[in-house]
Structure 1
Amino acid sequence: MKLIRIYTLTATAGQDAALEAALGALKAIVTAIDGCEQFVVGREQKPAGLYTVLEFWTTVEAHRVSGSAIPKSAFGPVMGALAGPPTITDFLQKL
């Protein structure tokens, strides 16, 4: 069954550009992993600094094993630009 993972991120004030650059670099890594169908980044119009990342995976298992393919150093720039930890929600695609 396909997995959709949704991250809600809040950038530290003044760190939008840094977060967007870090997410762009992370996207390049994640989309190269077998099983990743899409990695979409959206920014809310208001309030400033609120982002949503959607990852689409072929299966729950593909997502589970992807963690070992992502260098931990790829998360540092993302986490360094955040005001707090992200909210993560997983959905199983039904339709």
Structure 2
Amino acid sequence: MVLCRTYDLLAADDRIEALRDALVTLAGRVRAIAGCEGVQLFQDADVPAHFLFVEQWATADAHRAGGVVLGKAALSHVLAALATPPAAATLMPIALHG
């Protein structure tokens, strides 16, 4: 079953461009991991410091394994550009009928 992992991020005032660049780099690295079915990055049109990073994984196990493969060092530039810790959520799809 597909799993969606979201990260709601807020850049420090002077770090918006740095966070955007770090997230674009991170997206490329995450996409290359086995079991990743896609990554999307959104920037708030009204609040440019606000970003949403969305990962889609084939399974929860693939997501966990991806975190190990990626390693914490891959997140250092993202974490350095944040104003606050990211809010994360794991979402499961709901089948829509009709």
Q: TM-score, normalised by structure 1?
A: 0.94
Matched, 1:70 2:57: no
The alignment-based identity, stated in percent, is 34
Greater Rg over alpha carbons, structure: 2
**Structure 1 counterpart of 2:47:** 47
Cα deviation per residue 1:24-43 (whole Å; 9 max; x = unaligned)?
11111110001101111100
**Following TM superposition, by how much is the alpha carbon of 1:16 offset from its aligned partner in structure 2, in angstroms?**
1.1
Q: Note the alpha carbon deviations across 1:40-73, whole angstroms, 9 max, x for none.
A: 1100011220000110011111101111110322
Q: What is the number of equivalent residue pairs in this alignment?
A: 95
CA distance in structure 2 between the partners assigned to 1:44 and 1:85 by the alignment: 17
CA distance, structure 2, for counterparts of residue 92 and residue 61 of structure 1: 14
**Large movers: runs of 4+ above 3 Å:** none
Q: Which residue of 2 aligns with 1:56?
A: 56
TM-score computed with the length of structure 2 as normaliser: 0.91
Distance in 1 between residues matched to 2:48 and 2:27, nearest whole Å: 21
The aligned amino acid for 1:74 is: A
Question: Alpha-carbon deviation of 1:2?
Answer: 1.0
Aligned to 2:80: 80
Partner Cα distance (1:24, 1:48) in 2: 15
Cα distance in 1, alignment partners of residues 2 and 73 from structure 2: 27
Post-superposition CA distance 1:61-94 (Å, at most 9, x none): 1101111110322111000000010000111123
CA RMSD of aligned residues (A): 1.0
**Are 2:13 and 1:8 equivalent residues in the alignment?**
no
Unaligned stretches of 5+ in structure 2? none
| Amino acid paired to 2:73 | S
Amino acid in structure 1 at the alignment position of 2:91: F
